Amino acid sequence: MPALLPGTATLGVLGGGQLGRMFVHAAQALGYRCIVLDPDAISPAGAVAERHIKADYLDPVGLAQLARDCDAITTEFENVPALALQTLAGMRVVAPAAASVAVCQDRAVEKAHFEAAGVPCAPHAVIGNDIELAAVDPALLPGILKTARMGYDGKGQVRVSTPAELAAAWEGLKRVPCVLEQLLPLQRELSVLIARGADGQIVNYPAQQNLHRGGILAVTEVPAPDLPAEVQALAVGAARQVAEALDYVGVLCIEFFWLQDGRLVVNEMAPRPHNSGHWTMNGCDVSQFELQVRALAGLPLPEPRQHSASLMLNLLGDLWFGDAGGPTPPAWDRVLALPGTHLHLYGKAEARHGRKMGHLNITAETPEAAHAVAVQAAAILGLPADF
């Protein structure tokens, strides 16, 4: 496919969430028009795109409209039906491909892909029936039982320590197909973002250190503090292997566990930009969203250059519910008085507990300076400073 040059094409997005919104902003900055398909009449991405098609992801009329009016189409989240991407691919360029997204939608299939790509993952067992439940190796306990599909941000996950707890947890998850992962002694959680073009060109950002609270990403630091060069190289190499084995096109995030014994194992992947890459919007010369646009349009992919030490704080709706009862906006004026702070709110109409409302990027000349400002911002916002 010849490149879709800026100012000459329209790009489509399946999904109207915040990742779609930031993709649209990046595409528009390059001169592309954007159309969003999302069933929600009020969505963050639909509010900023040139056009919003209000339709279900499998609605044939909506998909036909999107294909008719766009030159290339992507998705902003992994749980869009792969069939929708497959249908669109019969009419337009689609990236990532339906087959790649389908792998990321099923933890069991995903782990099989990791193993086939030669990338180690945590010891695990697939549980889909009573026979597989009974056959689980006790050595996998304690572990985390995860639904094979539709689990994200800690949802659909239960920690279990005994066979009895495992059986009860599977019942509690309605006996849907699950993956039991052995609980491993972690040193850090890391992630690597790569972008790969249809021509096989591939670029990456440095490994990112992540902190989760309640299964939801809370903090990302780049450069990852005290990360040995050999672990950095292993993570980047593994991420590239996974992408190449998928023949992936677009932005892909691979999450890793760096274990206390020094080993690196892959956790999961997301076929899209990722929360842990939001720092690139202010800490790099090219953001993850611009790389998503470039990969979709067939433009060259520059090797990203980090120009500032960066730290990202995830902002959940809980911040709007303080002592006053709320919802009340946090003290953004005090936060933005701090040096190197960059606020990104997602345009969501209603703040709710646990809902991702935005993120705060902090940039500085040194990691220590970025960390110090982040601690001040966290204190203003009432966030833990356990990073």
Q: Which tokens in the block code for residue 172?
A: 């509690």
Tell whether 155 is covered by a domain: yes
223-271 residue pLDDT tens: 999 999 999 999 999 999 999 999 999 999 999 999 999 999 999 999 9
Residues 175 and 190 both lie in one domain: no
Residues 253 and 376 both lie in one domain: yes
Tell whether 174 is covered by a domain: yes
Tell whether 203 is covered by a domain: yes
Closest CA to 17 of 32, 34, 2, 39: 39
E-only strand ranges, the chain = 10-14, 33-37, 51-53, 72-75, 93-94, 124-127, 143-147, 157-160, 178-182, 186-196, 202-204, 208-213, 216-222, 250-259, 264-270, 309-316, 341-345, 356-364
**What strand order describes the sheet that includes 157-160?**
124-127, 178-182, 143-147, 157-160
Alpha-carbon distance of 334 to 262, in angstroms, equals 41
Residues 199 and 172 both lie in one domain: no
104-126 residue pLDDT tens: 999 999 999 999 999 999 999 99
- Tell me the CA distances in angstroms from 187 to 211, 255, 257, 258, one per residue in order: 11, 14, 8, 6
Mean pLDDT for the chain? 95
- Strand 309-316 to strand 216-222: parallel, antiparallel, or no bridges (unpaired)? antiparallel
Closest CA to 358 of 379, 375, 383, 376: 383
Please determine, for residue 326, whether its predicted confidence score (pLDDT) is greater than 90: no
Stronger pLDDT, 353 or 372, i.e. the higher one: 372
Is residue 157 annotated as involved in ligand binding? Answer: yes
Residues 166 and 255 both lie in one domain: no
Is residue 146 annotated as involved in ligand binding? Answer: yes
Last residue within a domain, chosen from 132, 151, 182: 182
Residue 138 belongs to domain with CATH number: 3.30.1490.20
284 — phi, psi (to 5°)? -130, 165
Is residue 262 annotated as involved in ligand binding? Answer: no
Tell whether 367 is covered by a domain: yes
Closest CA to 207 of 276, 111, 269, 294: 276
Is residue 110 annotated as involved in ligand binding? Answer: no
CA 134-136-139 angle, 5° bins: 140
Last residue within a domain, chosen from 157, 182, 207: 182
| Percent of residues, the chain, with pLDDT higher than 70 | 98
Is residue 268 annotated as involved in ligand binding? Answer: yes
Could you give the dihedral angle defined by the CA atoms of residues 248, 22, 64 and 60, in that order, rounded to the nearest 10 degrees? 90
Residue 262 belongs to domain with CATH number: 3.30.470.20
Residues 244 and 350 both lie in one domain: yes
Alpha-carbon distance of 29 to 18, in angstroms, equals 17
Last residue within a domain, chosen from 94, 110, 142: 94
Tell whether 111 is covered by a domain: no
37-87 residue pLDDT tens: 999 999 999 999 999 999 999 999 999 999 999 999 999 998 899 999 999
Closest CA to 187 of 123, 256, 140, 122: 256
Residue 190: burial class (beta carbons within 10 Å; 0-12, 13-18, 19+) = buried
Residues 367 and 291 both lie in one domain: yes
Domain that holds residue 368: 186-381
Is residue 205 annotated as involved in ligand binding? Answer: no
Q: What is the mean pLDDT of residues 96-109?
A: 94
Is residue 154 annotated as involved in ligand binding? Answer: yes
Tell whether 303 is covered by a domain: yes
Residue 80 belongs to domain with CATH number: 3.40.50.20
Residues 227 and 281 both lie in one domain: yes
Confidence band of 154 (pLDDT split at 50, 70, 90) = low
Residues 136 and 30 both lie in one domain: no
Please determine, for residue 322, whether its predicted confidence score (pLDDT) is greater than 90: no
Residues 249 and 329 both lie in one domain: yes
CA 135 to chain centre: 33
Residue 104: burial class (beta carbons within 10 Å; 0-12, 13-18, 19+) = buried
Is residue 65 annotated as involved in ligand binding? Answer: no
Is residue 155 annotated as involved in ligand binding? Answer: yes
Residues 377 and 232 both lie in one domain: yes
Within the chain, where are the H helices? 18-29, 60-69, 82-89, 98-104, 107-116, 130-134, 163-172, 229-246, 280-283, 288-297, 332-336, 367-381
Is residue 181 annotated as involved in ligand binding? Answer: yes
According to DSSP, the residues that pair with 319 across neighbouring strands are: none
Is residue 57 annotated as involved in ligand binding? Answer: no
171-219 residue pLDDT tens: 999 999 999 999 999 999 999 999 999 999 999 999 999 999 988 999 9
Is residue 21 annotated as involved in ligand binding? Answer: no
Residues 229 and 358 both lie in one domain: yes
3-state secondary structure of 252: strand
Least confident of 139-153, 156-170, 309-323, 363-377: 139-153
Tell whether 118 is covered by a domain: no
| Percent of residues, the chain, with pLDDT higher than 90 | 93
Domain count, the chain: 3
Closest CA to 34 of 19, 55, 47, 49: 49
Residues 358 and 248 both lie in one domain: yes
Is residue 246 annotated as involved in ligand binding? Answer: no
Q: Which tokens in the block code for residue 293?
A: 């646009």
Tell whether 298 is covered by a domain: yes
Q: Are 75 and 48 in contact (CB under 8 A)?
A: no
